[in-house]
Amino acid sequence: MTRHLPPAPTDQYVALPDARPVTTRALLTVRENPTDTIAARAMTCIHAGAGFGKTVAVTSCLRELEPDQDIHRITFHARPTTRAVRHELFTSLGLPGQPPCYAGEFDHLLKTELATHPRTLVLDEAQWLSSDQLEYVRYLWDDPYTQLAIVFVGGEGCHQTLRKEPMLSSRIFIRQRFTRLTPDEVQDVIPLYHPIRAEATPGDIAFADNHAAHGNFRNRARLTAHTHTALERTGRTHVDQEVLRWAFSRLGSGN
């Protein structure tokens, strides 16, 4: 669980000097959707397969709003209990003292705090939430005095999980599904991602995407890191298919 939003340097999946955020169509849409959701004090769902960049995109966009918004991100790595969700909210909100022992008292405390001023909860890896926890989130959001906007972020199963809860699903204001980068997007954005890609030929960019990255940004980040290592160790100044094949071998990709 993280309190508020993590620092910008942690956005990169791997530590890669000189890597830059790039603007894809999905990222442009993300800039609009959480902003509109927060303005409406609503709930939204942003989901995709692993490595498509959804969490990085949401976090980087919300970070731009954070000076004017009270934003808290909670990340789930396993199926939590409702009690665990209460405790993570208690910690993220920075409430003093010890958490209450009884559910009713705990809920009263959380709802009272959430009514003091507008807040945004970002629930990352939301596919781990079960029916009881999703109902609990809706319970807090539905309270007439809490001032909540909620951004669900999750893997491919996230939207299906929410759809199983009609009371919650009917309240989703915006749904966005991240997809793989198209071949045209790959050609447009990859040269901007890192200096070693800036002079790559369209053929080499397509070669790397077809054999290893497959339109997945996390794959591309790993591939770029290994390519960077190859250039440093060999003293080469530019990427070619021999360098790429060595990087592929580290990813277990075909060549």
Cα–chain-centroid distance for residue 152?
A: 9
- Give 202-238 pLDDT, tens digit per residue: 888 888 888 888 888 788 888 888 888 888 888 888 8
Closest CA to 41 of 165, 159, 140: 140
Is 70 exceeded by the pLDDT of residue 250?
A: yes
Is 90 exceeded by the pLDDT of residue 77?
A: no
What is the architecture of the domain spanning 8-177? 3-Layer(aba) Sandwich (3.40)
pLDDT at 62 (0 to 100): 83
The residue assigned the tokens 């808290």 is 72
Section 12-32 average pLDDT: 72
Is 80 exceeded by the pLDDT of residue 133?
A: yes
The residue assigned the tokens 């960049």 is 53
Backbone angles phi, psi at 78, to 5 degrees: -160, 170
240 within 8 A of 196, measured Cβ to Cβ = no
74 within 8 A of 207, measured Cβ to Cβ = no
Spell out the SS3 assignment of 132-170: HHHHHHHHHHHCCCCCEEEEEEECCHHHHHHHCCHHHHC
| Mean pLDDT, rounded, of the chain | 85
pLDDT at 2 (0 to 100): 39
